[in-house]
């Protein structure tokens, strides 16, 4: 085995509708991968075995866990006590945590003699200042029930911050940037001195920007009105907001911006409305994040939409002149295969950067970092 492969790490990233498994070498090179576009099921052990038939045996496994809840504030080794704590957080992100736990349990059973590390999207936001963290709700809710802003997409933000710093020739701790993670789930984050100081997602991954099938922020008074006036149950509302809202609800056809850009060009008015609402909320969220900084050194896009949808980036930036951001963005060529791309003009007051999504590689890094510190 080559020296660079001596300590392979298996990274597991599972969600409500997909499973991504990757084995990484010491240098971050992917040695083997397995992708499934369906939720983790009863055959998870078989899928893991299939991957490991063609990959070097992992010396550790890193697991992406979206929500750490109030108990788990750092990336951590998984033991039975941690597994119990993870179960207690499952209902805070019901579309994300239960599927991840199915993969975690299968991997622990199949690979019982290697360390398993839980890497949380909430860790990047663990130091949010009180003004950004606290909701104006009763003390019992905040103190006893743990209702606060947790923030998400933290692994993506950590990767994007480091890549942006490399591109701009700066240390991460010297940057003030706004990062927009736009994909199936969408959020924006203000980063100052290498840490999150504000973010649009809140207690759950449902809050904030309009998303593919999730609503984003909705007046809570509308939700209580739907319950009391129209008899909708909490389960009805939860299902609608998490699975039948967002771009899908606005367009009536698709939650994918690629479809909507094409349909809008063909004259579909509902597709046009969906994109207008989406880009408006993105601009509003980005501007709100900028208000938590004393300057903006760069606006960074990541996630599937942020990385691959130039029409959406252009529409967002063209409406952010108040921040010194302008349109006329360059579309990276296929040959531009670096870890980050500058897409704004060289003379732009605020650089616009595109960073390819790197959550799996960030989990690999966090897992190795934690194990080195043991």
> 36 an active-site residue?
no
Token couple for 276: 């207008």
Tell me how far apart the alpha carbons of residues 168 and 296 are, in angstroms, rounded to a whole number. 13
Give the number of other CB atoms < 10 A from CB of residue 259: 16
Instruction: Tell me the three state secondary structure of residue 178.
Output: strand
Q: State the catalytic residue, choosing from 3, 79, 121, 276.
A: 121
Token couple for 199: 């973010």
Q: Phi first, then psi: what are they for 204, rounded to 5°? A: -135, 170
Instruction: Tell me the three state secondary structure of residue 47.
Output: helix
Output the CA–CA distances (angstroms, integers) from residue 326 to 162, 265, 292, 351, in the order listed.
Answer: 24, 23, 20, 9
Contact 317, 331 (CB under 8 A): no
Side-chain-facing half-sphere of 37: CA atoms under 13 Å:
0
Chain position carrying tokens 């993870």: 86
Residues written for the chain = 374
| Catalytic sites, residue numbers | 121
């Amino acid at each position: 085995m080559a020296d660079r492969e001596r300590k392979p790490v298996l990274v597991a990233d599972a969600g409500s509708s997909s499973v991504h498994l990757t084995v990484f070498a010491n240098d971050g090179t992917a040695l083997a991968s397995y992708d499934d576009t369906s939720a983790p099921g009863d055959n998870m052990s078989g899928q893991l075995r299939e991957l490991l038939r063609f990959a070097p045996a992992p010396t550790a496994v890193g697991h992406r866990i979206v929500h750490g809840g109030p108990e788990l504030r750092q990336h951590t080794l998984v033991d039975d006590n941690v597994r119990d704590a993870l179960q207690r957080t499952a209902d805070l992100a019901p579309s994300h945590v239960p599927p991840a736990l199915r993969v975690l349990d299968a991997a622990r059973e199949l690979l019982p003699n290697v360390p398993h590390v839980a890497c949380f999207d909430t860790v990047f936001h663990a130091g949010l200042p009180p003004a950004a963290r606290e909701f104006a709700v009763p003390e019992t809710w905040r103190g006893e029930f743990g209702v606060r802003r947790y923030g998400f997409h933290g692994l993506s933000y950590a990767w994007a911050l480091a890549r942006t710093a490399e591109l701009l020739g700066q240390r991460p701790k010297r940057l003030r940037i706004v990062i927009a993670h736009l994909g199936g789930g969408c959020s924006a984050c203000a980063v100052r001195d290498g840490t999150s100081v504000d973010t649009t997602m809140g207690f759950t991954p449902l809050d904030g920007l309009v998303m593919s099938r999730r609503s984003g922020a909705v007046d809570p008074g509308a939700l209580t009105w739907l319950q009391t006036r129209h008899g909708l149950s909490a389960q009805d509302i939860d299902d609608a907001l998490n699975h039948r809202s967002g771009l899908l609800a606005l367009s009536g056809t698709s939650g994918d911006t690629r479809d909507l850009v094409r349909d809008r060009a063909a004259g579909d008015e509902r597709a046009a409305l969906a994109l207008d609402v989406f880009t408006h909320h993105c601009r509003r969220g980005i501007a709100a994040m900028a208000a938590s900084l004393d300057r903006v050194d760069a606006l960074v896009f990541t996630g599937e939409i942020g990385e691959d949808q130039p029409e959406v980036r252009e529409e967002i930036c063209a409406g952010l002149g108040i921040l010194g951001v302008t349109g006329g963005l360059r579309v990276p060529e296929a040959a531009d295969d670096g870890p980050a791309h500058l897409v704004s003009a060289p003379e732009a007051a605020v650089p616009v950067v595109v960073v390819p999504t790197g959550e799996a590689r960030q989990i690999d890094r966090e897992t190795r970092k934690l194990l080195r510190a043991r």
